[in-house]
A and B are shown apart, each in its own frame.
Chain A
């Protein structure tokens, strides 16, 4: 018996077949094209009522009073709930990683509001219109305070969450640049300091959020919800509600886009679920676009300063990154985006890198994922490389050639100790250059400039971790279950979930090829947590890689059974059996054949005819555990013209050279890349969630939040530069890449076009006004207008020192021995653990235990109230954790240095 949890057999190469690798039509399309998709608002159940929310019109206040008297009088209103009514559920608003939140997070506002749009009151009524009417009649009195809106506000202002010492939601890395690194940076012939400011983005799936919660007695709950994985929503809801004894079924047949917003329920969806359980009626809430743009969690809003040291030839010497991210008030994860630093130099030969990374609480709607959440790494690196190339007078292509890790240099590891075995950005770049004539473009560009026209070429390269599994609780393998029905047709249920990904199509292509049946005879079902098994669905560009592998292995198991049974029935060797188009034949013996349907009838209905010991039926399943990470690579090029008079950017050409391993369906692959690139174009040129100084959103409709239209997006050209991955089938993930590589490609093209005027500040979006200011040398900084403030500003609270100084004198005698409950703030969210300490003189021993296991340490030192000890861990990678803790009475606090992850804060108390 092999170890079923170990990564399995390696891929043989790029797969192709009658269906795999072909541009077959999608299974999903006939229903979607004829208006017969089933999105959440298309589902109704008998007795359902509708919900609308009264939302906060202010960004920061305490709630003085709530009056629902007028609202209650509206005919058709059934109930009006505030947080008080939902408090007994004690819901735990856990993150995607299943960690409890760092700050108290409730479905409805609990005495205070912390962003404009925060749900405060919910109305249950006969119709959505009546619920909205009544919600507008709820009267809430607020005692308004001065809100913190920007990252800069958060650095200096009074804590958004009362009781916290500052606004740092999460922090990793070192606050001071390491001396050795600083020396390398300062001694280098060239030091480029490059800053990128990324605006806030609304994920904007075309289907807004929505849920229909249908409680079926006290022990069963069915949720229809627009989501990225019904299994993830089922797991999340069960844990968040603390109801392991409730049978929860989550159904989401069709979902109108997710992009990171719909990983799991958040405030409004949870409020609806709780209210349905309390009111004991099915409740439906469908978000409108205004609510989606102000109240649904948002993404990006980051700034990063990258220092890059280079020698005179453009070779990289050292680098430092300082990153900050606006988490809003109630983020889905207290986030400092460690992945930005993990991957910023992932595919480059960078000798030394250090960083500081922080997430900040503000009085804005919370942070959630958006396609390629760590994309800043490629944006800041690739744009910095172009700045460096211009400064050193080197071609931007040459600076990449000089520094990218090539295939012949692997295996190796990155400066952040990421193992690299088969990444191909350098090879993608060369294939791109074989397709696009750079010299011809440079001639055209020079001629155009003489005519006063500004053309630019942008090039960027990157790698992306995809198909990750095994290191994080929710990032699991994927399950395929497949059966040949007694009719001879093939039915599969999958752990996958499509929000446009076309997994019903790509998985059917695999089953058809591997089982020897026609594509038309395969049906794939997903979108229901009662079918298939757990996976996080569309998260981290994983489905093609992992579920594809599962489908191959499950189909191969089933095909093997078919061959064994057919050989038995036809009395030939199994090796002679061939299956094609649903017909089983025997090599060299045309008289012997049987259809798959006939065989299936025997397998299910005539068990006496099966070989001894064979299980009846034709069914198989496989949960595929892939290698921990599979890298995708790409290089992109685009050509733009920036209009000298208007500042408008016209994208003339765009070429994507992408290594996605085996392309299961090239049309689906190109669709994923194209959609990501379009979102990147939106980020660079158009989209922006803004706030005024009081925290009011300035883009609350699609008239203000500018989504890319067909007229903004060029025709993309594709160079498939595929090399097989090491996972079964050889696929590499392709879901997020376009959104990551697109932004630096376009920014570089614009910067190249405007190079004669000087550098373009990378402050997204690059609007015509900003680009005109570069060409005209104007200062666009608006005059500082101080908004009238209606209430007394709150004086910033003094910010306490986060870690007590090591020489702090304890108040009484120090008692170290015993058990301690401790919380470590890690990149994955807070981690609870229990510590056991024993002292003997200056010697300290003991263990730390968590749900993952117990780790002992010995031979460590204790100095007064100061505990210093090391723990070596191997998962998710080999690191030595260096703890430095202080005990003050029954409290414990301090730091844990986690190797390349920097330092994390620890707090706790005696048990």
Chain B
């Protein structure tokens, strides 16, 4: 198995590595670079838990090889909050909307939402929900994720969930 030297930017800092050709970007980020917030739920590109951004675009890091990320700029869920601990708007909205339970799928959901929303992004609620169909969450029934998508969209309704009456 051949080894390859790679250099890349992760969450704003420079990293270099010496990886086997077959090493996935996810394994490199977790095992070599120490970003264990990259979660592996299926390792075959369906569940979305390992989603990160590579050069600004959401990518499933289990389906990309580490060598392919040579020279790239990578952001993981660890890299979104401000240095003083202030949560990224996506993280803040998800906390307010109770959009997570066990938290295993969460870093991937955060990264997809972060890649679609924010400054200069024009994603509708329908587009964000469409992208969310690439994430499996076994806990929440997607209720809080849907409310978060609604608040983060450019056509945000402003309201949170439709609630029944407290009878």
- Which residues on A are within 8 Å of B, measured CB to CB? 23, 25-26, 28-37, 39, 41-42, 129, 204-208, 254-257, 259, 288-290, 431, 434-435, 498-502, 655-657, 667-668, 670-671, 674-679, 701-703, 707, 709-711, 713, 715-721, 738
Contact = CB atoms under 8 A, between A and B. Distances in A.
23 contacts: A23-B98, A29-B100, A30-B85, A33-B77, A33-B100, A34-B87, A35-B76, A37-B37, A129-B20, A206-B39, A206-B102, A206-B137, A208-B41, A257-B101, A435-B167, A500-B100, A502-B101, A701-B42, A702-B46, A709-B132, A709-B134, A709-B136, A721-B167
Most chain A beta-carbon contacts within 10 A, residue among B87, B105, B143: B143
**Chain A CB within 10 A, most for which of B23, B40, B140, B141:** B141
A257 B138 contact: yes
Interface string B130-152: 10111111111111111000000
Interface of B: 20, 22-23, 30, 35-44, 46-47, 49, 76-78, 80-81, 85, 87, 91, 94-96, 98, 100-107, 110, 129-130, 132-146, 161-167
Contact of B91 (A33, A257, A703, A717): A33
B58 to A, nearest CB: 15
Contact of A718 (B35, B95, B134, B163): B163
Contact of B167 (A37, A431, A498): A431
Nearest to B147: A715
Given A35-B35, A701-B44, A713-B142, A718 B164 contact: yes
Interface of B is mostly: loop
A41 B34 CA distance: 12
A709 B41 contact: no
Contact of B107 (A35, A707, A718): A35
Given A206-B137, A718-B163, A710 B132 contact: yes
A217 B153 CA distance: 56
A29 B93 CA distance: 11
A498 B37 CA distance: 19
A542 to B, nearest CB: 17
B15 to A, nearest CB: 16
A715 B133 contact: no
Given A206-B105, A499-B102, A710-B133, A675 B36 contact: no
Nearest to A208: B41
B46 A207 contact: no
Given A33-B110, A717-B163, A256 B103 contact: yes
Contacts of A703: 44, 46
Given A289-B41, A715-B146, 6 more contacts: A29-B103, A208-B41, A256-B39, A256-B103, A707-B138, A710-B133
Shortest beta-carbon contacts, A-B, top 5: A35-B37, A256-B104, A32-B103, A500-B101, A500-B102
Contacts of B105: 206, 256
A667 B98 contact: yes
Contact of B143 (A288, A670, A709): A670
Contacts of B43: 288-289
B101 A671 contact: yes
Contacts of A671: 98, 101, 139-141, 143-144
Contacts of A42: 36
Contacts of B81: 34
B104 A206 contact: yes
A29 B94 contact: yes
B141 to A, nearest CB: 3
B78 A709 contact: no
A498 to B, nearest CB: 8
Contacts of A205: 102, 104, 138
Contacts of A667: 98
B95 A26 contact: yes
Contacts of B106: 32-33
B96 A25 contact: yes
Contact of A710 (B103, B145, B164): B145
B44 A702 contact: yes
B102 A254 contact: yes
A32 B100 contact: yes
A850 B82 CA distance: 62
A23 B76 CA distance: 29
Contacts of B110: 33
A34 B83 CA distance: 12
Given A501-B101, A701-B42, A257 B139 contact: yes
A30 B87 contact: yes
B164 A33 contact: no
Contacts of A498: 102
Contacts of B76: 35
Highest count of chain A CB atoms <10 Å: which of B22, B43, B85, B142: B142
B103 to A, nearest CB: 3
A31 B20 CA distance: 31
Contact of B102 (A207, A655, A670, A715): A207
